[in-house]
Structure 1
Amino acid sequence: MKKMHIVMSVLMAGSLIMAGCSTQSKLEGGGAQPAPGKDAGAAGGKVTIGLSLSTLNNPFFVTLRDGAMKAAKESGDNLVVVDAQNDTSKQISGIEDLIQKKVNVIMINPTDSDAIVTAVQEANKANIPVITIDRAANGGQVVSHIASDNVKGGQMAGDYILKTIGGKGNIVELQGIAGTSAARDRGKGFHSAVDGKDGVKVSASQPADFDRAKGLSVMENILQGNKDIQAVFAHNDEMALGALQAIQASGKNIAVVGFDATDDAVKAVNDGKMAATVAQKPAAIGETAVKTADKVAKGEKVEASIPVDLELITKK
């Protein structure tokens, strides 16, 4: 009995030692890992930020990317940029790649505010915070949206056009990509300024998909069917510059107002070829987005909506 008691004591002591080792193992790293995007950089590690852009075939988004790269360099963050080339399926695939790379935060400039929802939700499932830039997503969980007030910008453009044409005349509207919040909001602001005004009519409102070549062809077709036009409002400068080409070829004198204040558009304004453009400051949007993403990755609280100032650019 005495010998058995000794054996039992040894076995119990061994069990306690094993239990202690097991508990220590869990405390040292056997527990749940922090979700991607949370507390990144807390131990001095680099933050990796994914940036999905609708297209880099547009000077506005090239400038936005450059602003983001500048901010990432200053903060020591890694920035991974993917170009959707205005293809929604390509953008979703690119975001899936960023999720697989386990980036800390994903910043998205949607090609389509509705179609991008599934990609946002996939990032949500992977516990990767999402920030939208310039254009919003119509679903999924987004921690912050960084953009200009596109409604206000559209209204600024409409007010300036009314002033330019003396509150009387026919106006053409060139719309951006259908389904994008930027096109919807800029159009909303523009119509709030011009609709219902006596002597003013929006004689044509057609999409040209934020593209210069399409802006040219759409404006050519409009000019063939309507000779009496006093002004054009384009939802971005690329379309405005395309419309300007068509107007110059027609020999008509029509005021053109764009949106974005790209270098080409500002030059056209200063040369007296375009009437105005609404400056959206893409570099500032890119910089603000990265700074916000860095805060999110490190567990800091950020505002749900962060506006970037607008400015109407007219001839100096």
Structure 2
Amino acid sequence: MRLLIVATAVLAIGGLAACSSPSQSGGGAGGGVAGGGNVKVGLSISTLNNPYFVQLRAGAEAKAKELGVSLTTTDAQNDASQQVNQVQNFTSQGMKAILINPVDSDAAAPAVKLANRSSIPVIAVDRGVNGAPVAQTITSDNVAGGALAADELAKQLGGKGQVAVLQGVPGTSAARDRGAGFAAGIKKYPNIKVVAQQPADFDRTKGLDVMTNIMQSNPGITGVFAQNDEMALGAIKALGSKAGNQVKVVGFDGTPDGLKAVQAGTMSATVAQQPKLLGQESVVSAVSVAKGGNVQKVVHVPVKVATKENVQDFMTS
């Protein structure tokens, strides 16, 4: 089992809390971390139509239950304006801290500024916020992850080939940083050419559609980097029998379905994150800032490449 250390103390992840949304969790204070009794925290997640963010929510709700925090979770359904309304509602409801997983890093700024004017600390989770100060940004190291994806895809291709990139939601820090890391990494391999790049919005169905279109205009593609596992799984469906054979696919997230695809050989690798840990640590930080404490401004949770050779380690962790 992997043990990754971040700035705040990492406790064992508890059992999954109920998955309804909005939801509230409560319970006794957890050992080892100051209890969060009477602390009300709001969590706005970009979308729960993605297994990665379902895991993030589970980690947050489990930690909230452990610490006795009243956590209200909402689903923005990938709608930036809806998320702004949710954060504004959290502000008017007198939350002691707000956690935001932005739909759009720029569009989140006005709501964050409103919370700041009300002296409510905001923590950005998994994606950053542009144009407004937050108490903390806790994310995976997406730039490093993109570079790892480039190296792994190059290894799978033997250092040569034509590559397509399926990009995430435009405007999100995750899409920008993963793309930047991959672009810088793939430059090390002069015999690999990126022949197509197109957004598929971190969505499996869109990944299928976009990959289908790319294949028609670029039949010689031998590699795909998808900026999350959902798009990678859509691309694999579009590729059919070519996936894992003539065409190597590398994803990002390490979701259960993504890891199963790596195990099956249709996905060559995925850059594995720890969404439950991100959710867990965000709640710990929320309790700290709600009580007037200081937290590290930026926390990067390390990522690691999962391949068929080591995937079992990730599936049992």
CA contact (8 A) 1:107 1:130 kept: yes
- Specify which of 203, 215, 223 is matched with residue 207 of structure 2: 215
SS at match of 1:112: coil
- What is the TM-score when the length of structure 2 is the normalising length? 0.84
**How far 1:197 sits from its partner (Å)?**
2.9
Q: CA RMSD for the aligned pairs? A: 1.6
- Is 1:287 aligned to 2:277, yes or no? no
Match of 2:172 in 1: 180
CA contact (8 A) 1:53 1:109 kept: yes
- Specify which of 289, 293, 298 is matched with residue 291 of structure 2: 298
SS at match of 1:137: coil
Residues 75-95 of structure 1 deviation map (CA, whole Å, 9 limit, x = unaligned): 110110011000011101111
SS at match of 1:285: helix
What one-letter code is carried by the residue in structure 1 that aligns with 2:54? V
- Is 1:277 aligned to 2:240, yes or no? no
**How far 1:309 sits from its partner (Å)?**
2.0
**CA 1:44–1:288 in structure 2 vs 1: closer, same or farther (change >3 Å)?**
closer
Partners of 1:43 and 1:67 lie apart in 2 by 17
What one-letter code is carried by the residue in structure 2 that aligns with 1:197? Y
What one-letter code is carried by the residue in structure 2 that aligns with 1:233? F
Matches within 5 A, 1:1-316: 45-195=37-187, 197-248=189-240, 253-316=246-309
Partners of 2:174 and 2:41 lie apart in 1 by 23
SS at match of 2:99: strand
CA contact (8 A) 2:36 2:69 kept: no
SS at match of 1:167: coil
**CA 1:137–1:43 in structure 2 vs 1: closer, same or farther (change >3 Å)?**
closer
SS at match of 1:202: strand
Residues 261-284 of structure 1 deviation map (CA, whole Å, 9 limit, x = unaligned): 000000000111100001111000
Q: Larger radius of gyration, structure 1 or 2?
A: 1
**How far 1:307 sits from its partner (Å)?**
1.6
**How far 1:110 sits from its partner (Å)?**
0.5
**How far 1:226 sits from its partner (Å)?**
1.1
Partners of 1:187 and 1:206 lie apart in 2 by 11
Q: How many residues align?
A: 275
CA contact (8 A) 2:108 2:129 kept: yes
**How far 1:55 sits from its partner (Å)?**
0.3
Residues 112-156 of structure 1 deviation map (CA, whole Å, 9 limit, x = unaligned): 011111111011111100000111000212010000110000000
CA contact (8 A) 2:37 2:69 kept: no
Partners of 2:241 and 2:209 lie apart in 1 by 12
Match of 1:31 in 2: none
| Structure 2 unaligned residues grouped into runs of 5+ | 1-33, 310-317
What one-letter code is carried by the residue in structure 1 that aligns with 2:88? E
SS at match of 2:213: helix
Partners of 1:309 and 1:196 lie apart in 2 by 22
Partners of 1:249 and 1:161 lie apart in 2 by 18
Q: Which has the higher helix share?
A: 1
**How far 1:45 sits from its partner (Å)?**
4.8
Instruction: State the percentage of identical aligned residues.
Output: 51
Residues 43-85 of structure 1 deviation map (CA, whole Å, 9 limit, x = unaligned): 9851111101000000000000000001101111011001100
Partners of 1:195 and 1:245 lie apart in 2 by 28
What one-letter code is carried by the residue in structure 2 that aligns with 1:164? Q
**How far 1:111 sits from its partner (Å)?**
0.5
